[in-house]
């Protein structure tokens, strides 16, 4: 009897337990009646109630959401345009490609210090939302360019030429032919930019000003001062739940689109 599938299954199961057991325990502890993170004394939602009554958490969450949405929109627009600009050969394209890829490999500590000096000393941008937005756009832009450029490289330029032959202008051809083809990559780039901004701690910690503390920086600071409190555990559980819900919704939407596409193709074949 071949035992290899059982061995591989056991290894895969061990990996999943290693990855998700702490998250599952985090969710259980968030409903614990006491402040202990190791001993369950009863069921309670008191920490969720205290979490939503904490104005500092709500203010940090609102700022983080505004920052993530704004940086995602700006990064997506600029990154998409840059990806289209880099698809054609021109003098210096290699240099621009390298420069746009640098934030992918530069350590966040170095990037944070560099952006701090640039925003405060050179650009005159005060610490706060403006400096945070500039920093988040700077490191999110590279991810958008990489994702969108990979899709743009696979688009057949003859489709645009066919649209032009049928009388479509450059903007109409881009809006009706090219953009729908690259829309999934643009959406993926926007999702990357949003998540990177929402989750950033290192770079944001250098540019946070008075009254402009993002949620990850706030959580990190609270954990460093008082340890992991039950309110932070409840907040982490909510973030995991929202992330899981969005992931499930995305998978269901993609599956529904795939079934619809298969149904349309079957009708065409008939």
CA-wise closest residue to 148 among 83, 195, 71? 83
| 43 three-state secondary structure | strand
CATH code of 124's domain: 1.10.3720.10
Does residue 17 sit within a domain? no
Q: How many whole angstroms separate alpha carbon 58 and alpha carbon 112? A: 25
Quick one: pLDDT at residue 71?
Answer: 92
Quick one: pLDDT at residue 75?
Answer: 92
Residue 96 CB-half CA count within 13 A: 15
Does residue 26 sit within a domain? no
Better-scored residue on pLDDT, 78 or 121: 78
Does residue 10 sit within a domain? no
- Give the model confidence (pLDDT) of 214-251 as tens digits: 888 888 887 766 667 778 888 888 888 888 887 787 77
Number of C-beta neighbours around residue 261 at 10 A: 10
Does residue 106 sit within a domain? yes
Quick one: pLDDT at residue 2?
Answer: 55
The packing angle between helices 108-117 and 129-152, to 10°, is 130
CA-wise closest residue to 87 among 17, 137, 152? 152
Percent of the chain having pLDDT more than 70?
Answer: 91
Q: How many whole angstroms separate alpha carbon 214 and alpha carbon 61? A: 7
| 62 three-state secondary structure | helix
Query: What's the structural domain count of the chain?
Result: 1
Does residue 116 sit within a domain? yes
CB 21 within 8 A of CB 13: no
Q: Which of 4-8, 62-66, 93-97, 126-130 has the lowest mean pLDDT?
A: 4-8
- Give the model confidence (pLDDT) of 172-230 as tens digits: 777 777 778 888 888 888 888 888 888 888 888 888 877 788 888 888 887 766 667 77
Does residue 9 sit within a domain? no
Domain extent at residue 144: 31-262
| 92 three-state secondary structure | coil
Does residue 5 sit within a domain? no
82 pLDDT above the threshold of 60: yes
Does residue 2 sit within a domain? no
CA-wise closest residue to 163 among 179, 151, 174? 174
């Amino acid at each position: 009897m071949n035992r290899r599938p059982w061995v591989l299954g056991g290894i895969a199961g061990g990996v999943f337990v290693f990855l998700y057991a702490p998250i599952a325990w985090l969710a259980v502890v968030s409903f614990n009646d006491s402040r202990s993170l190791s001993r369950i004394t009863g069921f309670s939602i008191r920490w969720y109630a205290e979490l939503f009554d904490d104005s500092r958490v709500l203010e940090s969450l609102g700022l983080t959401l505004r920052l993530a949405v704004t940086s995602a929109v700006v990064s997506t627009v600029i990154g998409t345009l840059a990806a289209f600009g880099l698809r054609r050969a021109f003098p210096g394209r290699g240099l621009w490609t390298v420069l746009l890829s640098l934030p992918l490999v530069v350590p966040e500590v170095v990037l944070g210090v560099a952006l701090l000096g640039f925003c405060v000393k050179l650009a005159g941008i005060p610490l706060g939302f403006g400096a945070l937005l500039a920093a988040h756009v700077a490191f999110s832009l590279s991810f958008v360019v990489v994702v969108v450029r990979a899709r743009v490289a696979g688009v057949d330029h003859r489709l645009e030429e066919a649209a032009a032959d049928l009388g479509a202008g450059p903007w109409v051809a881009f809006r009706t032919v090219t953009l729908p083809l690259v829309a999934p990559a643009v959406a993926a780039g926007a999702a990357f930019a949003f998540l990177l901004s929402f989750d950033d701690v290192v770079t944001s910690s250098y540019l946070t000003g008075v009254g402009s503390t993002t949620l990850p920086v706030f959580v990190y600071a609270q954990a460093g001062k008082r340890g992991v409190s039950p309110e932070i555990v409840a907040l982490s559980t909510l973030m995991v739940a929202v992330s899981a819900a969005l992931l499930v919704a995305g998978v269901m939407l993609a599956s529904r689109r795939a079934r619809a596409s298969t149904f349309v193709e079957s009708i065409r074949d008939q």
